[in-house]
Amino acid sequence: MAERTLRGARLGGQSFEDERGIEFAARQNVAYGCPQGHEFEIPMSVEADVPAVWECPRCGAEALSKAGLEREAKVEKPVRTHWDMLLDRGWEKELENILKERLERPGEVETGPAHLHRSNAKRRVKSKA
Ligand SMILES: [Zn+2]
């Protein structure tokens, strides 16, 4: 039921005035501004993917969302995590090297707090057994 209402609203395009003020729990108004300075809002489901660009109802130009969505977001950019960025910086290799170094010569590489050194010594004994 709610779905049908939303779909009708989206197709309707510009006649949302009478619906203003009515509370729809699952709705949000997405504000757009076109290059000509026209501003308008499109009610959408909160769960919907908010389009970064919407056709201006007045002049038909591409209006950009003001919901903080960058236009570039529409271009299929892979979502980058912090982990990806770490990998980009070569941290994985570096961590690998550090780990290797510590495993190979646990006694010599003494970085970090002392309790880490002790656990290294234990590890060495363990791996020899
Ligand atoms: Zn316009």
List the chain pLDDT tens, one digit each, 129 residues: 455 555 555 554 555 555 555 555 578 889 999 999 999 999 888 888 888 899 999 999 999 998 665 444 555 567 778 878 777 777 778 888 888 888 887 666 556 666 666 555 555 555 555
How many angstroms separate the alpha carbon of residue 23 from the centre of ligand 1?
27
Using a cut of 0.75, tell me whether the model's pTM lies above it: no
How many angstroms separate the alpha carbon of residue 103 from the centre of ligand 1?
65
How many angstroms separate the alpha carbon of residue 39 from the centre of ligand 1?
7
Q: How far apart are CA 87 and CA 99, in angstroms?
A: 16
Using the structure block, give the residue that is written with the tokens 């990806």. 84
How many angstroms separate the alpha carbon of residue 56 from the centre of ligand 1?
5
Kindly list the distances between the CA atom of residue 60 and the CA atoms of 28, 32, 43, in Å, as whole numbers in the listed order.
22, 12, 18
